[in-house]
Amino acid sequence: MFDITAYAELKDLLGNLAKIENDLMPNELEMLRSIKAKYTDPHTPDPFDITALKVMQRNVEVRKGFKFDPKKDTGRVINLPRVDED
């Protein structure tokens, strides 16, 4: 059965993120576009998609206190030394 409440929440989150799209990191922007394309037709959303949108919105708020330019700064890369498997 179609969950209209969850779909309305998803559409609201998509609308909120569209307003702050310029503040999203490249990987967040890619995921946002993917989720937006997935829900062009109304159907019950995957709870993971709703959670992912909420996390993106929260991440933008967290980054506001830092000097961070999503257009220039890349994602954090963790480069750990590899252990040889001999």
Q: What is the pLDDT of residues 1-57, one digit of tens each?
A: 889 999 999 999 999 999 999 888 888 999 999 999 999 999 999 999 999 999 999
- The structure's pTM equals 0.74
The confidence band for 83, taking pLDDT boundaries of 50, 70 and 90, is confident
CA dist 5 and 45 (Å) reads 10
Question: What pLDDT is stored for residue 64 in this prediction?
Answer: 79
59 CB-contact burial (10 Å; exposed 0-12 / middle 13-18 / buried 19+):
middle
Q: Which residue has the tokens 């576009």?
A: 33
Q: Which long-range contacts (CB under 8 A, 24 or more apart) does 30-37 make?
A: 31/56, 32/56
